[in-house]
């Protein structure tokens, strides 16, 4: 069974962009161990020769035709943005040019 340690929790919280205090970490550790244990239990089944089931419905190719419909109005688009100027979403600077 995968060991749920500080390194793993640290890695997962970085991927999720979330921060936890020590008490939360302990709780997460317990939850994750439960989840992983559940999956490990399932892994005990012999699935030799069984095709993996990825999708629960038999649907294939749920296409739409290449037609343009009206887009969202700009005020609707920006409504939930923490920072915007009426045209753009604004976010902290994400690139630093480093020529050195």
Partner 1 sequence: MAPDSFEIVVGLEVHAQLLTQSKLFSPESTAFGAAPNTQTSPITLGHPGTLPRLNRKAVELALKMGMACHCTPEPHSYFARKNYFYPDLPKGYQISQHRSPLCGPGWIRIAGEEGPREIRISRIHLEEDAGKSLHDQDPAFTCIDFNRAGIALIEIVTEPDLRSGKEAAAYLTELRRLVRWLGVCDGNMEEGSMRCDANISLRLKGAGDLGTKVEVKNMNSIRHVHKAIEAEARRQFAILEDGGLVCQETRSFDAGKGESFPMRVKETADDYRYFPDPDLAPLYCSPSWLEEIRSAMPELPEARTERYRASCGLSAYDARGLAEDRETGDYFDSVISLGADPKAIANWILGPVKSWLNEHPGSVLPLSASRLAELSGLVLGGTISFSAASARVLPELVRNPDKTPVQVAQSLNLIQDRDQDRIGVLVDQVLGEMKDKVLEYRKGKKGLIGLFLGEVMKKSGGNADPRLTREMLEKKLGGYPVGRSPKKN
Cβ pair 4, 39 in contact under 8 A: no
How distant is the alpha carbon of residue 47 from its chain centre? 28
How many residues in total does the chain contain? 100
Contact region with partner 1 (CB under 8 A), list: 1-9, 22-30, 39-47, 75-83: 75-83
8 Å CB contact between 86 and 74: yes
Closest contact distance (angstroms) between CB of 13 and partner 1 is 13
Q: Residues in contact with partner 1, total (CB under 8 A)?
A: 37
Per-residue contact string for residues 30-69; x = within reach of partner 1 by CB under 8 A: ------------------------xx-x-xxxxxxxxxxx
Q: Out of 3, 6, 17, 47, which residue is the one contacting partner 1 (CB under 8 A)?
A: 17
The pair of structure tokens assigned to 30 is: 């317990």
Centroid of chain to Cα 12: 10
Minimum gap (Å) between residue 46 Cβ and partner 1: 23
The position carrying tokens 């630093």 is: 96
- Residues lying near partner 1 in the complex (CB under 8 A) are found at 11, 14-15, 17, 54-55, 57, 59-69, 71-72, 74, 77-78, 83, 85, 87-95, 97-99
């Amino acid at each position: 069974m995968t060991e749920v340690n500080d390194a793993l929790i640290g890695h997962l919280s970085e991927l999720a962009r979330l921060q936890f205090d020590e008490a939360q970490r302990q709780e997460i550790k317990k939850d994750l161990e439960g989840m992983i244990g559940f999956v490990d239990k399932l892994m005990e089944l012999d699935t030799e020769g069984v095709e993996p089931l990825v999708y629960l419905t038999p649907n294939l190719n749920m296409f739409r035709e290449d037609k343009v419909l009206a887009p969202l109005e700009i005020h609707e688009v920006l409504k939930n943005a923490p920072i915007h100027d009426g045209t753009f979403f604004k976010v902290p600077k994400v690139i630093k040019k480093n020529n050195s």
